[in-house]
Chains A and B, each alone.
Chain A
Amino acid sequence: MIWNSLRLYFRYASISFRSQMEYRTSFFLRSIAQFTITGMEFLGLAALFLRFGHIDGWTLPQVGLFYGIVSVAFAIAEAIPRGFDVFPNLVKSGDFDRILIRPRSPALQILGQEFQLVRVGRFLQGMLVLLWSAGRLEIEWTSSAILLIAFSIVGGACLFSGLFILGAAICFWTIESIEIVNCLTYGGVETAQFPLSIYRPWFRSFFTFVVPLATINYFPVQAILNLEGTSGGKLISWISPLAGLLFLLACLQLWRVGVRHYTSTGS
């Protein structure tokens, strides 16, 4: 059953891929533009470090780890569950019925609507930052550390995907408040680019317990950098990206409730 769904997803993805490749030059231009914009962002960051030296004790390469993980995770989330981001149009135009009439989970169908390859621009940029930072830092890159980074990226991608799904689910009840979720998504990216410790306590709590941004890069990176004061000890840091996955599952559940609501009230 899962295999069947995966196969269907890959079919969707390949169709999406091919149709994007048709406009090849446009694709390259947009990817390069993405790469440039995100690249500029990091350069701006670097300029600030040039001027201020460090931020609350964190150096540029250290911040680079945080930044890189979030960037790559977000790029993945922007590429894959893109359909959820544009979901409001679907509901407004009544085309969601067309999805319900098919014998597959609506979430899977929406997931398959679009696979935005263009996000590779941000993906590459994030990777580059990660690699650069990793090189500059004087730490031992054990396989478990690398695995933790990968795990954090996956957890982050799950978390951001969850936010997109959350935004789409809210559309079942009201068209308006999707902006708030956008706020959290894009704002969350900017927030997590820096270590969470620099923010005020209330802000930190929100992004640890409500939208578990802290778990996908702050705790893991602390573990990697072998720093003192990692709350809860090493183990927590290592499994914290799991919170991203749990968040995603919670959002998916809300989505299902939303679909049920839609079918009982019509459009």
Chain B
Amino acid sequence: MNQITVEELTKTFRVARRAPGLWGSVKGLVKREYQDVRALDRISFSIGGGELVGYIGPNGAGKSTTVKVLSGILVPDSGHVMALGKIPWRDRVHYVGRIGVVFGQRTQLWWDLPILESFDLLRDIYSVPEEKYRANRDALIEMLDLGSFLHVTVRQLSLGQRMRCEIAASLLHDPELLFLDEPTIGLDAVSKLVVREFITTLNRQRGVTVILTTHDMEDIEALCRRVMVIGDGKLLSDGTLSDLRASVTTERWLTVDLAEGVPFTAVLDGDARLIKSEGRRFCLAFDPKQVAAAELIARIARSCPVQDLFVENPPIEAIIARLYSQQKLQ
């Protein structure tokens, strides 16, 4: 049974456009020029209960717009959306009581209140029964290791601590669906791992559906089996990471480290192309269908003294960028 169904979701924004410079501002006083921005262009997908889906795309692609529609705080122009059996914006006040949202940049907690009080206040806002609240709260405190700063105000917390509190806060009322927007942004390496592990546990053990919007590809690779890519308001890809990779390119990347000061003199003959070079490290992209890795390596080793090498898939960022530019060309 699908928990979320989205069909032909479309949303256009009217943005006031101001011509640059002083004269533009003056003109702007008299006549406002508007530009229609298509934030969502007939997006369709469905998500089943218990899935952990990554939702990625460049800035301005429509990620946050989608999340806002799915959270019920934005009404689309057209299209059909069903989530948890309801139309999110129709019955917003009831619907939002069953979802949790974490905004990476903005806090849902109260700046000048101790964490515990913020939690208590949320309990009242979400009308969580006392026993359930205590059970949830204590479990979350333990899982996210919040015990040492429960009485500290949000203002005084480090980013990593704050993020863990935000996540805990969003789960106090047992939501069935959780939206995470940039949850690991700005976090140190250790905190990132803690957060990732928590999300995995949350999803696997408690069956909470998680929709993760992020720019952090490591998050995606670590957490999401399914990835949706959005660009320019259109859904560009929807499937596993390997599907995504395969759909864009079968390219592989070969990185070689040469001896100090040696120039790269291998003749590539169009079988591979040099993507980037840094000091003595050179990175080449090649199509294994055209030239086998082993053969390419041999060819290079004949002309240059190779000290080290490795072969890998192109990083996801490159895939996404490629996907995106492909879409733009259409």
Interface residues of chain A, those whose CB is within 8 Å of chain B, are 4, 7-8, 11-12, 15, 19, 94-95, 97-98, 100-105, 109, 263-266
Q: CB-nearest residue of chain B relative to A12? A: B121
A103 and B94: CB pair below 8 A? yes
Task: Give the interface segment out of B46-54, B106-114, B292-300, B307-315.
Answer: B106-114
B121 and A94: CB pair below 8 A? no
A264 and B75: CB pair below 8 A? yes
A95 and B124: CB pair below 8 A? no
The 4 closest A-B pairs by CB, nearest first: A103-B97, A264-B75, A100-B73, A103-B96
A-B contact pairs, 25 of them (CB 8 A): A4-B127, A8-B124, A11-B121, A12-B121, A19-B113, A97-B68, A97-B73, A98-B106, A100-B73, A100-B92, A100-B96, A101-B71, A101-B73, A101-B108, A102-B126, A103-B93, A103-B125, A104-B93, A263-B73, A263-B89, A263-B92, A264-B75, A265-B13, A265-B14, A266-B68
A266 and B126: CB pair below 8 A? no
- Grouping DSSP codes into helix (H, G, I), strand (E, B) and loop, the A interface class, with mixed when no group exceeds half, is helix
Residues of B near A8 (CB, < 8 A) are 124-125
Interface band, chain B: 20 to 34
Q: Contact flags (1/0) for B231-251 with A, using CB distance below 8 Å?
A: 000000000000000000000
Extra contacts besides A8-B124, A102-B126, A109-B125 (6): CB < 8 Å: A4-B127, A98-B103, A101-B73, A263-B73, A264-B74, A264-B75
Task: Please indicate which of the listed interface residues A19, A101, A263, A265 has the most CB atoms of chain B within 10 Å of its own CB.
Answer: A101
Please give the distance in Å from B260's CB to the nearest CB on chain A: 52
A263 and B106: CB pair below 8 A? no
The CA-CA distance from A144 to B14 in the complex, in Å, is 56
Q: Contact flags (1/0) for B87-122 with A, using CB distance below 8 Å?
A: 001001111110001010010101011000100010
Task: Please indicate which of the listed interface residues B75, B89, B108 has the most CB atoms of chain A within 10 Å of its own CB.
Answer: B75
The yes or no answer to B65 lying at the interface (CB within 8 A) is: yes
The CA-CA distance from A101 to B72 in the complex, in Å, is 8
Q: CB-nearest residue of chain B relative to A93? A: B106
Q: Contact flags (1/0) for B62-95 with A, using CB distance below 8 Å?
A: 0001001001111100000000000001001111
The CA-CA distance from A266 to B66 in the complex, in Å, is 12
A103 and B126: CB pair below 8 A? yes
Q: CB-nearest residue of chain A relative to B101? A: A101
A15 and B68: CB pair below 8 A? no
B92 and A104: CB pair below 8 A? no
Residues of A near B14 (CB, < 8 A) are 265
The CA-CA distance from A122 to B126 in the complex, in Å, is 36
Please give the distance in Å from A252's CB to the nearest CB on chain B: 16
The CA-CA distance from A104 to B123 in the complex, in Å, is 12
A95 and B125: CB pair below 8 A? no
The CA-CA distance from A7 to B120 in the complex, in Å, is 13
Please give the distance in Å from B39's CB to the nearest CB on chain A: 8
Q: CB-nearest residue of chain A relative to B103? A: A98
The CA-CA distance from A165 to B223 in the complex, in Å, is 45
A266 and B74: CB pair below 8 A? yes
**A263 and B74 contact, Cβ closer than 8 Å, known pairs A4-B127, A102-B96, A103-B94:** yes
Residues of B near A104 (CB, < 8 A) are 93, 125
B13 and A266: CB pair below 8 A? yes
Please give the distance in Å from B242's CB to the nearest CB on chain A: 34
Q: CB-nearest residue of chain B relative to A103? A: B97
The CA-CA distance from A11 to B71 in the complex, in Å, is 26
The CA-CA distance from A19 to B75 in the complex, in Å, is 37
The CA-CA distance from A16 to B288 in the complex, in Å, is 66
